[in-house]
Structure 1
Amino acid sequence: MVDFLFYILVIIFEFINNSANFWLPVVLVYVFWKVWIAYIQADWISKLKWILLEVRLPKEVFKTPMAMELVLNGLQQPSSGNKLDQYWKGRVPDWFSFEIVSVEGSIRVYIRCLSKYKNIIEAHVYSQYPEAIISEASDYTENMPWDNKSEISLWGSEFALTQPDPYPIKTYVDYGMDKGYVDEKQRIETMAPTLEFLGSMGKGEQTWIQILVRATRGEGWKAEGKELIKKLMHRDDKDDDKAVTTRLTKGETDVINAIERSISKPAFEVGIRGLYFAEKGKFNPANITALLSTFKQYSSHNMNGFKPGYGLTVLDYPWDDFRDIRKKTILKSLFDSYRLRAYFYEPYKRKPFVLNVEELATIFHFPSGVAETPTLARVDSKRSEPPANLPF
């Protein structure tokens, strides 16, 4: 038996050796191409100039998340240049980072972008929220002295979708937030649970939530949605639409209508991650559950929702991680990628999911006064323009 296995190995080795002239050049070209693309993209990214904008929200926001949807529409920047730009200069599509941060219960809202987009962001935000105040801020992540040897505890996770991209999450439209109300107190605020959790951070605790976005390229996600609709309708191109519709249940019809509405709007590729820090003796395990539940209100049993992705949730048992080697590696990756706002490119490349502007505006918008979290930074008074006849 041993001789037979040895004979088989010899044949395999001889085959690989004799055919190397055919497959080895292909493999080397493929490896070189991958290394080249990673190198030029890293060089391009290293030369980008970033700024961090803090947004202080108006004390009273009466607009629905549709206002944020209009802001996001203005940030659709899908171009990555021509082929020369991509494969010689390493140009990549631009991306943005929307961040909600709680430092000991004090909540701040940030937008990290390339410096060239500062005026564009200000114009779009002020057009919908004229009472907001936008100012450049220092990077708060630089004030966190965490590493695997520090006494500061860290827990973190990224998020993924529970279903394929075309299935939409529960949006502000589904909650009826797109409609006006006679009584402001009757309004529903989807971000209220998130803000209440962030506002509950105590002394020595911090929670960072990051939503990274870049415009989708191509129509592949829409084509996937159309194929899904055809599958849910149990039809082929020969079927009559009217005949198929009569066979659908109300639940199936609702799902199909939601998918059709979803793929009709512009979309972004998205990555979400959350980090929880606590000083020695302050770590509260209940905040792990609370952080993972931050996006639960957007889930629906027959459509889409959020679940934990890359992070410490993959380590279920002690034997999954010898001497905490994997834990330390994961935490360092989460911390470094958060600080660098990295998600779409090497060395912290992840697989993004797709959210349209309605879905993205649902999970990130400027909350109304219904969200009465006292530690959320808001503008204390309204800004007013000087009189037109003011003498100079």
Structure 2
Amino acid sequence: MSPALEAILQEYGSNPFRAMWFVFGHGGALILIPIMIRMATTGWLFWAREKFKHHVPHTLFKIEVPQNNEQSMKAVEQIFVQLYGIYDVPDWHQKWWLGFDQEQFSLELVSEGGYINYHVRAPTYYKELAQAAFYAHYPDAILTEVPDYTKDITVEMINTEKIKVWGSEMKLERADEFPIKTYPMFEHQIAQKSVDPFANILEFMSRLQPGEKLWYQIMIQPTDLGHLKEIAQHTIDTVVEPTGAGHIGPDIVDRIKDGITLLLAGLDKALFGGETVTISHEGPERLTERQRLTTPERELVEEVDKKASRWPFHTKIRFMYFASPKIFDDKKVRRGMIGALKLYRFINAFEEGKLTRTDWKVLPWRFFFSRRRLIMRARRMFWAYRSRDMERGEHEGFILSTEELASIFHFPQIEVRAPFVAKAQTRGVEPPTLLRFDDSEALAGPAVTLASGNTDSVRPEVTEVVPESPQPAPSVTVQPEQTAGEREAPSNLPFV
């Protein structure tokens, strides 16, 4: 050991704080600079995005569904395709200075005592887009702006336990590229009939008792299609081309043969005008590996590729249940709603998040301040639902395609009995195209002319229109009526 190092250890070895200060002052700060820069940029971006989201106004619509809905779930899928049109990629200034965050829509189903209402929440400057998307496929539906129904519940009611609360979030069991079961899979190919999987949720929500409230929320945000294709292709390559075993490729002998073949083909083309020769091992190799797939593997590859071909949405699903302590039954609601979503199990499936559940069984260290901790969880869950914030909660959400979204949220079809769903009682009818309008001067209003002598002036001068004096009616001479004896015979009568 060198004398210098031994002197340093003797001076700073007995005091760890002095040792840390020595390291920090002699170049150790350089290690912390990247960490500090990372923390600063992350904090700034979070603050800018929160400020941007706070200044985005929103409008909540209540949707009264058509009485006899004959549209299929394909129509709802087209609605989501149109809503995806707001997707935008921000530039550097929008992202880091303005804090641009992709706008979100909220699809909500509310049951109060068994009476169900559909709601959709959209940014105010996109409300015409949302209305056009729904009216294009459901012209008999009625969209009405309503106040936020979540304000009927207050934090004081939760803190004082005047009402009891159960809430939870859903997540996917596997990665985002694996699809759930969608509505085409519920169609019977021979009978040409489809089973509506969403009918289970509607039926359960319609069986709530007076005084019970159940909220079902689906937050959607358009996301990058390229990202979904990238992770989907990685999964497909992992299944089709497993690393190691069974890989068939050109060895050193094949490469030498290919080189000689290309050399001779080049000389033949230069001297005698022959054709160009191209050698490729990729096609037969990939075809051979595809043929070696089992039936489940082939189905997985096809379904993953199918999901990556549709527009993706970043999604989050929440439930909230409220009731007085006398009639509160969270087990009934939890089993009913979670059981209804089990119908969508396929390659992927929904599962309940544990960090946001507001029941006693999933609480870690449940015997320590369990009551107060459950109230805090319920309050956080309530604020996440009311603010419609996707970043709050157990996870940041998952990716669903337009077909998957249409499967878990759509209007009841005509064969589904949903008597307690709010439906449009009247039908909007456009005016007839041959309706005549009076365009006379009396309805035209005062004439507007520019100020005289100043052709550049943009301020109009209103001149009063003096109606013309009525013209006297032409005189008509009325002949006295002749008696029957004085009347002459018509000139065209035949005479003998």
Question: Would you say same fold, with TM above 0.5?
Answer: yes
Equivalent position of 2:297 in the other structure: 252
Contact 2:62 2:146 in 1 (8 A): yes
Equivalent position of 1:70 in the other structure: 78
Indicate the SS of the match to 1:134: strand
Q: Is the deviation greater in 160-169 or in 58-67?
A: 58-67
Contact 2:168 2:352 in 1 (8 A): yes
Indicate the SS of the match to 2:174: coil
Q: Is the deviation greater in 32-41 or in 255-264?
A: 32-41
1:243-322 equivalences under 5 Å are 243-284=288-329, 285-300=331-346, 303-309=347-353, 310-312=355-357, 315-316=361-362, 319-320=365-366, 322=368
1:241 deviates by: 3.1
Indicate the SS of the match to 1:84: helix
2:201 maps to amino acid: T
1:1-392 equivalences under 5 Å are 13=20, 17-18=24-25, 19-76=27-84, 77-145=86-154, 146-176=157-187, 186-217=193-224, 219-235=226-242, 238=249, 240-284=285-329, 285-300=331-346, 303-309=347-353, 310-312=355-357, 315-316=361-362, 319-320=365-366, 322-324=368-370, 325-344=372-391, 350-392=395-437
Contact 2:165 2:358 in 1 (8 A): no
How far, CA to CA, are the matches of 2:190 and 2:77 in structure 1?
A: 16
Q: Is the deviation greater in 99-108 or in 61-70?
A: 61-70
How far, CA to CA, are the matches of 1:167 and 1:7 in structure 2?
A: 57
2:206 maps to amino acid: G
Q: Deviations over 1:177-197 (max 9, x none)?
A: 8x8977xxx431111001011
Indicate the SS of the match to 1:168: coil
How far, CA to CA, are the matches of 1:16 and 1:134 in structure 2?
A: 66
Listed as ranges, the gaps of 5+ residues in structure 1 are 1-5
4+ aligned runs moved over 6 Å, structure 1: 179-182
Task: Give the 3 Å change call, closer, same or farther, for CA 89–73 of structure 1 in structure 2.
Answer: same
Q: Deviations over 1:90-133 (max 9, x none)?
A: 12111111101111111011110111111111111111111111
Contact 1:153 1:279 in 2 (8 A): yes
Higher relative contact order (CA 8 A, sep 6+): 1
Contact 1:101 1:108 in 2 (8 A): yes
Contact 2:358 2:378 in 1 (8 A): no
Contact 1:80 1:86 in 2 (8 A): no
1:36 deviates by: 1.7
1:41 maps to amino acid: R
How far, CA to CA, are the matches of 1:143 and 1:197 in structure 2?
A: 22
Listed as ranges, the gaps of 5+ residues in structure 2 are 1-12, 250-281, 438-496
Q: Is the deviation greater in 261-270 or in 75-84?
A: 75-84
The share of aligned pairs that are identical, in percent, is: 26
How far, CA to CA, are the matches of 1:51 and 1:222 in structure 2?
A: 33
Bigger radius of gyration, 1 or 2? 2
How far, CA to CA, are the matches of 1:131 and 1:149 in structure 2?
A: 44
2:421 maps to amino acid: L
Task: Give the 3 Å change call, closer, same or farther, for CA 26–259 of structure 1 in structure 2.
Answer: closer
Equivalent position of 1:3 in the other structure: none
Q: Deviations over 1:12-34 (max 9, x none)?
A: 74675444421344333333222
Contact 2:356 2:394 in 1 (8 A): no
How far, CA to CA, are the matches of 1:190 and 1:111 in structure 2?
A: 21
1:294 deviates by: 3.4
Indicate the SS of the match to 1:207: strand
1:313 deviates by: 6.7
Task: Give the 3 Å change call, closer, same or farther, for CA 20–173 of structure 1 in structure 2.
Answer: same
How far, CA to CA, are the matches of 2:42 and 2:69 in structure 1?
A: 48
Contact 1:296 1:306 in 2 (8 A): yes
1:199 maps to amino acid: S
Contact 1:342 1:349 in 2 (8 A): no
Contact 2:67 2:425 in 1 (8 A): yes
How far, CA to CA, are the matches of 1:208 and 1:122 in structure 2?
A: 22
Q: Deviations over 1:151-193 (max 9, x none)?
A: 100011111001111110000111128x8977xxx43111100
Q: CA RMSD in A?
A: 2.6
How far, CA to CA, are the matches of 1:221 and 1:353 in structure 2?
A: 11
Contact 2:204 2:336 in 1 (8 A): yes
How far, CA to CA, are the matches of 1:338 and 1:144 in structure 2?
A: 12
1:144 deviates by: 1.4
Q: Deviations over 1:270-309 (max 9, x none)?
A: 1111111111201112212212223111112xx0010012
Question: TM-score scaled by structure 2?
Answer: 0.71
Indicate the SS of the match to 1:311: coil
How far, CA to CA, are the matches of 2:15 and 2:342 in structure 1?
A: 54
Task: Give the 3 Å change call, closer, same or farther, for CA 71–8 of structure 1 in structure 2.
Answer: farther
Task: Give the 3 Å change call, closer, same or farther, for CA 187–149 of structure 1 in structure 2.
Answer: same
Contact 1:212 1:271 in 2 (8 A): yes
1:64 deviates by: 1.5
